[in-house]
Structures are given as structure tokens and as C-alpha cells.
Structure 1
């Protein structure tokens, strides 16, 4: 199939993501009838339906799942080919897509700025996602790279770099516990707590520790935003949690104190930079992964400034 067929393949992929021919047509700026005719042409060539249609929209058939998976792998390979061609005259253009945990958002943004200083024409697509959604983006070829805390075991994930991360407690600078060097979770039993959402890796660690004890935390607030959690604890007696690399952005905030959770509580886990196993990364993504790896390796060799 020629490169010109990539457009209709992308159309089919967009329909699979939208679950609706009409919605996909709106996003693609084509008419639903024209889009449907293109899909029917491909289904005729394949000799099998790609979508099952009902009153609520469309879903992929078994043949459609196979075909869309192939489309996504072809698009990823084509981006790599374009990248290699561009590399003949040096890294100038291209695109890097990364799915990352909210905890490392500031870290990733800082490195994008640094990378673009050297390669200003390279585009970036950043998706902030929990570790499960990030791995889905990786396997669906939506993301070239992931940087996530405590990803679930997945055969499709190939780690590039892994950095151990402790949990830290974040509180107001004048909180009664701010004078301690480290904290045990049991020290927090008498204080009100603000927790990250259930999909966050740090929340999972805390829940797992509590499940092994009779201790309960007095949870008075939850949020799916670490910025909101930091604002909640500022000027109050609430305490929240973050991983070390995410807490670095607050280390210079005079209104906040950051204290490690004692190693006795085993409140730690891996931060993983990874790619899809068996996939050759486009040159820009590979270079950006090298930059992230080098920085993470530097963090490994130095104490966190918290």
C-alpha cells in the first residue's frame, strides 16, 4: 500500500478512537458520508468488516482490532523513517510524544525547554496520565515514551531508566511535625490528611501500608492535582504526600515543609522511563530519552534537596 493511503488509515484510526463516524468526521473536517465510503472501500479490500455499527456508534471487530493495530505500528515506523531521513542533515525536525505521571510534569517540562533550545523545530506532544493510561498510550503508539511512577507489570514495557523514589510528606512550614527530620505514617494519625486520587502510585503505596496495620488516616480532602493538594496544606494543618522528584518544585517555597517518610515504612517505588518493547524509537524521541536518562542518573547520585 502506498504512502498516500496513510490518510484513510488515519481516518480509520480516528473513528476507532472516537467510537463514532460522525464525531470522527467533525475532527477530520470531512463529511460523514465521505468518511463512511472510505471505510467501506477498505472493508471491501480487506474482505472483512472493520467496525460493528449500532445506534450508539461503532466498535472495532476482531479484524478491525488487528488492522488498527497494524495502522498504528505503520504510522510509528513511518515517523521513524522520516526521522532517519532528516538525520542525514542532522536532527532538525520531528516529533516527540511522551505520556507521564503528573508527579513528573515539572521535570518533563523543564527538559522539553532544554531540548528545544538545541532543537527548536522539534515538536512535542505531552499527555499527563496515570500509569495504566500511560502504558495504554504506549501500546497504542500514541506515546513514544512514558515516564511513570510504579507502572504495573507489562510485557510491552521496555524500561530505559529506573530511579527509586521515596514518598515525602508535604505540610505548612509551621506544622507541628515540620521540625522532624523524617516521619512515620503513624505520626500522622492525629492530623488531617489530604490524599492524591486513587489512581496515583503514591496513593496506592499508602493504602498498601495501611492495609497491613490497624492504623487509619483522617482523610479530609482528596484531589487529582498535586498543585491543588499543595495549596490545601499551605497555611493549614493538613498533610499531603508526593514522591521526591515531584516535591522538588516546592523545595524553595518558604510556606511549605517537605519531610521524607521513614524508610521503615517502606514507602517507596520505582520511577520508570520506558518505551514500547521491540520498537525502534524515532531519532528525536531517542535523543530526548537520552537527555532524560542522564538527568535521572544525576538525581540517583545526589540526595534530594528537600
Structure 2
């Protein structure tokens, strides 16, 4: 399988965009790496990289070639995983692209459960916004995507969707803290703290107000849900998050979370999916089954 070494080298150069930096990662000389690239280009009969003053980038032929070799590498990982399963010891690597809400509670719990039974399986978990998650599947930097309100689903094969109601998060001393359900118009009478535009919660709230004269005017904006949640304890603001990123039983002391009335803000969807048409390695497929069952039990 020596040919796999060369195509891994090409894949690394394509991801990093620099022969010198890729050589450092691969622990070989840049001269040796460049020879590998030239040999493959000679075999193909065309160059696959554009040489730039500060690095390289794939040309059209290179994009086709790299798409092919990433499929090869993915298939080999699947075969290795299947062979490992024959020995009774599950091995492999699971790479996940996910929305921020999945990071603090759900994924750590699920990965710990899985690795307790299969300690030889490793994980990579990467924060990707609504637009970038699907691209991570396409370029094979992720096996699975768990994303709230994705932007597009052209190459996305959906495994499961889970509904999530938007919650208002505030101090227990806030004037609205004793309400069982919050009306959005009441929330907007108080200072609000919102996620920045790329996030699904912000998208749902703006969608809810698209035909209204009301405009969202946050006093605080952040791309960190943890910051927004904690800031509600220091100032009388209301932040907005979804339950999977803020389990009710784990709300910090001094905070409360209340659902926003569905007449005001619709539920959003968490999508769990993979690259369309790809056969997942055994370790990835089994983990996908586990989280699917966990989400169904919790939210359906």
C-alpha cells in the first residue's frame, strides 16, 4: 500500500496549501515532498497544483484528483475498521463537525460512553458553523456532521433530525424568570444578548420577525454560547439558546431557562448526517447509531 503514502502526501499539501509546511507536518524534506508531487503530476500528464509566491493551491485537475484520493483514503479507513472488527477489537477514528451547542454536554457524554466500550477508537471533534459543516463532509475532514439549521444540504445524507425549541436564558432575579413560557415581545422589552449571525438561533429569531416592524437590537453579541450564558448572571440580559446546549438540569446556579412560545419563534432542527453515498467505517457507523438512539430517547 505504498501508493497510499503518496496520496496522503498530496492530500496534506492540498489541505495546508504549502509544500514546506506540509513537509514539516509529514516529517520529510520539502525537496522529497516536491519530488513526490512532480512524479504524480508526470504520471497524470498534467500539473495538479498552481505554484504561488506563498504556497500552492489546487487547479481544476487537482481538485478532481484530490476528490478521488480522498474517497480512496476514506474507503481504506472503512476496510481497516472492518478488518479490526474481525478480531473483536473495534478500532478506527471518528471525525465530527458540529455546531457549538453540541460541544459542552452532548458529545462529551456520548464519546465517553462509546470509548468506555471501545477504547481503541479515537475521535476528532471540530467546531464548524452552519455553512462549513457540509463542506467538511465533502472534503473528508469529517465523517459525521451534527449541525443546527444547516445552510444547504446538497451533499448531505440525513441520518436523523431533532427538533429544538429556542429557550430564553436569564438570571433567576430577572423580571421574566417566573414565567413558564416567554413571549418574544416581552423578552424584547429587556436588554438581550445574541449569538452572531452565522448561528441558527439568531437565524430563527430573525426569521420570526421578518414580517414585523420589530428589529433585534442586542446589547451584547458573541460567537461564544458559554460567554452569553454566563453574562446573564452579571447583567439583567436575556440570552437565547437551544436545550441540547443548555440541559435544564445543568443550568448554572442563579440562572433559569424558559421556552420561547412557539407562536413567536418556531422550533429549529439539528441535522445528523454524512456525505451522500458514502459507506461509513464501522467505528463511525456504530457511533452514529449510538447518538441517533440517544437523541431519539431524549427529544422524541
* TM class by smaller structure: over 0.9
Corresponding residue of 1:245? 244
Query: Take 1:275 and 1:72, find their aligned partners in 2: how far apart are those partners?
Result: 15
Is the Cα–Cα contact under 8 Å of residues 21 and 36 in structure 1 kept in the other structure?
yes
Question: 1:195 aligned to 2:206?
Answer: no
Corresponding residue of 1:109? 108
Structure 1 runs not aligned, ≥5 long: 302-306
Query: Take 2:121 and 2:18, find their aligned partners in 1: how far apart are those partners?
Result: 32
Query: Take 1:97 and 1:8, find their aligned partners in 2: how far apart are those partners?
Result: 22
Query: Take 1:26 and 1:300, find their aligned partners in 2: how far apart are those partners?
Result: 46
Which is worse superposed, 150-159 or 167-176? 150-159
Aligned length: 299
Deviation at 1:252, TM superposition (A): 4.0
Task: Say which SS state the counterpart of residue 64 (structure 1) adopts.
Answer: helix
- Pairing partner for 1:97 from 95, 98, 104: 95
Is the Cα–Cα contact under 8 Å of residues 91 and 283 in structure 1 kept in the other structure?
no
Is the Cα–Cα contact under 8 Å of residues 134 and 145 in structure 2 kept in the other structure?
yes
Task: Say which SS state the counterpart of residue 179 (structure 2) adopts.
Answer: coil
Structure 2 runs not aligned, ≥5 long: none
TM-score, structure 1 length as denominator? Answer: 0.94
Deviation at 1:188, TM superposition (A): 1.8
> Which consecutive segments of 4 or more residues in structure 1 shift more than 6 A?
none
Corresponding residue of 1:135? 134
Deviation at 1:227, TM superposition (A): 0.7
TM-score, structure 2 length as denominator? Answer: 0.96
Deviation at 1:97, TM superposition (A): 1.1
Map Cα deviations across residues 7-37 of structure 1 (whole Å, 9 max, x no partner): 1211111111111112212222222221111
Task: Say which SS state the counterpart of residue 6 (structure 1) adopts.
Answer: helix
Alignment of 1:15-164 (within 5 A): 15-105=13-103, 106-164=105-163
Deviation at 1:159, TM superposition (A): 0.9
Corresponding residue of 1:13? 11
Deviation at 1:300, TM superposition (A): 2.5
Is the Cα–Cα contact under 8 Å of residues 192 and 217 in structure 1 kept in the other structure?
no
CA RMSD in angstroms, aligned pairs only: 1.4
Query: Take 1:91 and 1:283, find their aligned partners in 2: how far apart are those partners?
Result: 11
Is the Cα–Cα contact under 8 Å of residues 82 and 281 in structure 2 kept in the other structure?
yes
Query: Take 1:262 and 1:163, find their aligned partners in 2: how far apart are those partners?
Result: 18
